[in-house]
Structure 1
Amino acid sequence: MRNESEVEAEIQAKNLNAPRLTPALIDEQIVNEAFHVFPGTTLTVCALTLRNGFQVVGESAAVSPANFDAGLGRKIARDNARNKIWALEGYLLRSKLAATI
C-alpha cells in the first residue's frame, strides 16, 4: 500500500494541477485533537476539531488487551479520524467547482 507522500509525489510528477485536495490542506483543517480511552477497555477515540468548529471522530481498539498500546491506539484513532476529512473536503471542493460550471 502506498502512503500519501508517494501518491502526492506521483501527482506532482505528472503535473496534475487541477483543483484538488492535498495532505497539507487536510492537515491545515485540524485545529485541535482530543483523545479518550474508555476505562477497562482498549477502545481509543480521537476527536479532531476542524477550523470551522466541526468535529470528526476516529477510533481504534485492540482485540486482545495484551496487545493494547496507548500510543499506537492514539495514532490509529487519529489516522481514522483524519481520513474522514478527505471525504468532507472533497465534497466541499466538488460543490465549489460545480457552482462555477
Structure 2
Amino acid sequence: MTEQELATKAVAPRITPADIEAAIASEHYFTAAQGLLGVQWDAVPRKTIIDTSPAALRMVTICVLVLRNGTKIVGVNEGPVSPENFDPEIGKRYAREKAIDQIWPLLGYELRSRLSGAGA
C-alpha cells in the first residue's frame, strides 16, 4: 500500500513519512573502519594513524540520526557479502532506512500519548 493510499483511507491522526523527516535534526554517516580510525586518532598523541582496519569494516555503514529532541538513533548496514558489490551510497541508504524504522514506534508512542491525554 502506498503512502497516498494510506493517507486517503486515514480517518484519524497518524504518523507520516513527513513527520519522520521533520523529527530529524541532523544525520551523520561513517563506516566502521572510519569509526575505528577515530578511536585510534583520539588515542595517539602525534595524530599519525595508518589504517590497519580489516577490509570488512570498510563495508559496514553506520547512520546516526539526531532527532529534534536530542534522541540519537543508529542504523547499520552490514554491507554486501562480496566486497566487489560494495557501494557507499547504497550502504548509506540502507543504514538510514534501518534508523528510520526505529523512529516510527517512537513517534507512534508520542502520538498515542497525546491522543490519550497522557501527554498533556
TM-score higher than 0.5: yes
Q: 1:21 aligns with which of 15, 20, 27?
A: 15
The alignment's C-alpha RMSD in Å is 1.4
CA distance in 1, matches of 2:96, 2:19: 16
Partner amino acid, structure 2, of 1:33: E
**Counterpart in the other structure of 1:87:** 105
Runs of 4+ in 1 over 2 A off after TM superposition: 11-14
2:88 to 59, 70, 94: 70
Partner of 2:62: 45
Kindly name which structure, 1 or 2, has the bigger radius of gyration based on alpha carbons.
Answer: 2
SS in 1 for 2:29: strand
AA paired with 2:5? E
CA distance, structure 2, for counterparts of residue 12 and residue 52 of structure 1: 26
In the other structure, the counterpart of 1:35 is: 29
Structure 1, residues 8-66: CA drift from partner, whole Å, max 9, x if none?
Answer: 2112333x231110110111001101111122321110000100011101010222222
Q: Normalising by the residue count of structure 2, what TM-score does the alignment of the two structures yield?
A: 0.72
Q: Quote the Cα distance in structure 2 between the aligned partners of 1:21 and 1:69.
A: 31
Further displaced range: 77-86 or 60-69: 60-69
SS in 1 for 2:104: helix
Tell me how far 1:71 sits from its aligned partner.
0.8
In 2, the alpha carbon distance for the partners of 1:65 and 1:32 equals 29
Say how many residue pairs are matched.
Answer: 94
Identity, % of aligned positions: 43
Q: Write the distance in 2 (CA, Å) between the matches of 1:13 and 1:92.
A: 23
User: Counterpart of 2:28 in 1: which secondary structure?
Assistant: strand
